[in-house]
Amino acid sequence: MNKVRYCKNCFMPNTKPGLILDEEGICQACRHAEEKKSIDYNKRFEELKKLCNKYRSNNGSYDCIIAVSGGKDSHYQTYVMKELMGMNPLLVSVSDPFTHTKTGRHNFQNIADAFSCDIITLNQNPDLVRRMMKIAFEEFGSPTWAIDRAIYVFPIKMAIKLGIKLVVYGENVSYEYGGVLENKETYSAKDQINNDVAKKIDFDFWLNKGIRQEEINMLVYPTDKEIEKAELEPIYLGYFVKWDGYKNYQIAKKYGFRSLGNEWIREGFIEDYDQVDSYAYLVHPWLKYPKFGFGRATDVVGYWIRGGKITRKEGLELLKKHENSLVDTKALEDFLNFTGYTVKEFWNIADKFWNTDIFEKTDGLWYKKINNPWEEDYIINSIEEKAITNL
Ligand SMILES: [Zn+2]
């Protein structure tokens, strides 16, 4: 058994792929958050202006593509590029084939309306997504792979087709949250396709599973040569402006973005403004719980601690209250409805992904071996602190 350890600052466990805790027990995301305090973001903002000037259109044509979902971060990206930089962006998005929330539909409409931008959307073929989803769920426990892959690939494909060179993405997830890519911060998003969200699965794998070549062409990332020839410049906006999801949300709200409010109270969530677009998609982030022993609450507590919105102690209270093994009912219902699995089939498949370093099965149910693992760490800290005070 491997000992699971938790970041001493943000509670993220070292079971997260690519996450490394240093000798002081702090994860890369927290180290990077410290580093960011000494970054001169005024200077980087000037760098962004320079870059925009290089690509700015003089004839009214689109001069950049922003990969958007309609979420709070997309609103923020569009705000920076259109309102602050004065660019003429084309928004490019991928719509998943699940049931969309009313809030999500509003936000998607709103982003185009509030910033007066056109959107090109890829409505993915539901039949293909369904088949790939079942395979990816059963084989890797990653049901939304085909959707996540399209989100990275489609904007680049469109940029090449339309001859628009500047492509704007949000944050570098490996740098911001700790992940499998090398952690040196760079503005270029050229390597993004290799991060853990939509990592390359050998296309022969899909062909062997009965997916036809013509069906997955849309998910094949352009070659380095094609990207070079088109002179594409994919960038992370999070390099140029200090990235903080909660602050992005505050700005998005000013431009008409809405949180879920009472439309959907989500199990295991401590906020109502992230990943609010569709129901079934949330089964995918839920699978982190059996696989790695943490859920969405841990992610968000980490964002908030690093962003200075809450203390570590407040974070611990939130985790004790909200972090659990439950999958949101509405999300599961929509997932079953879309895929055609029965409840029993779903749990049988999910069963093989529970991490036995963290969980053990008793009477057919999975339980954490240590009940409040973060608290164990926390108590050790407190005892040490007490011992010091008593000296
Ligand atoms: Zn951390």
pLDDT tens for the chain, 391 residues: list them: 567 889 999 999 988 888 888 999 999 999 999 988 999 999 999 999 999 999 999 999 999 999 999 899 999 999 999 999 999 999 999 999 999 999 999 999 999 999 999 999 999 999 999 999 999 999 999 999 999 999 999 999 999 999 999 999 998 887 888 766 556 788 988 877 776 666 667 889 999 999 999 999 989 999 999 999 999 999 999 999 999 999 999 999 999 999 999 999 998 899 999 999 999 999 999 999 999 999 999 999 999 999 999 999 999 999 999 988 889 999 999 999 999 999 999 999 999 999 888 889 998 888 888 766 776 554 444 344 433 333 3
| Residue 310 CB neighbours (<10 A) | 17
What is the whole-number distance in angstroms between the Cα of residue 11 and the centre of ligand 1?
6
User: What is the reported pLDDT for 17?
Assistant: 85
What is the whole-number distance in angstroms between the Cα of residue 41 and the centre of ligand 1?
22
What is the whole-number distance in angstroms between the Cα of residue 166 and the centre of ligand 1?
32
Which residues, 6+ apart, have CB-to-CB distance to 132 below 8 Å? 145, 146, 206, 211
CB 40 within 8 A of CB 77: no
Element (H or E) spanning 367, and its range?
Answer: strand 365-368
What is the whole-number distance in angstroms between the Cα of residue 29 and the centre of ligand 1?
6
What is the whole-number distance in angstroms between the Cα of residue 171 and the centre of ligand 1?
17
Q: Tally the C-alpha atoms within 13 A of residue 231's C-alpha that lie toward its C-beta.
A: 6
Distance between CA atoms of residues 322 and 160, nearest Å: 44
CB 88 within 8 A of CB 273: no
| Residue 342 CB neighbours (<10 A) | 10
What is the whole-number distance in angstroms between the Cα of residue 165 and the centre of ligand 1?
35
Q: Which SS3 state, helix, strand or coil, does residue 295 take?
A: coil
Distance between CA atoms of residues 328 and 332, nearest Å: 6
What is the whole-number distance in angstroms between the Cα of residue 335 and the centre of ligand 1?
31
User: What is the reported pLDDT for 387?
Assistant: 38
What is the whole-number distance in angstroms between the Cα of residue 19 and the centre of ligand 1?
9
What is the whole-number distance in angstroms between the Cα of residue 142 and the centre of ligand 1?
24
What is the whole-number distance in angstroms between the Cα of residue 45 and the centre of ligand 1?
27
What is the whole-number distance in angstroms between the Cα of residue 12 and the centre of ligand 1?
6
What is the whole-number distance in angstroms between the Cα of residue 316 and the centre of ligand 1?
13
What is the whole-number distance in angstroms between the Cα of residue 150 and the centre of ligand 1?
29
What is the whole-number distance in angstroms between the Cα of residue 299 and the centre of ligand 1?
10
User: Is this model's pTM higher than 0.85 or not?
Assistant: yes
First-to-last C-alpha distance (Å) of the chain: 36
What is the whole-number distance in angstroms between the Cα of residue 215 and the centre of ligand 1?
40
CB 111 within 8 A of CB 74: yes
What is the whole-number distance in angstroms between the Cα of residue 167 and the centre of ligand 1?
30
Distance between CA atoms of residues 334 and 287, nearest Å: 15
What is the whole-number distance in angstroms between the Cα of residue 193 and the centre of ligand 1?
24
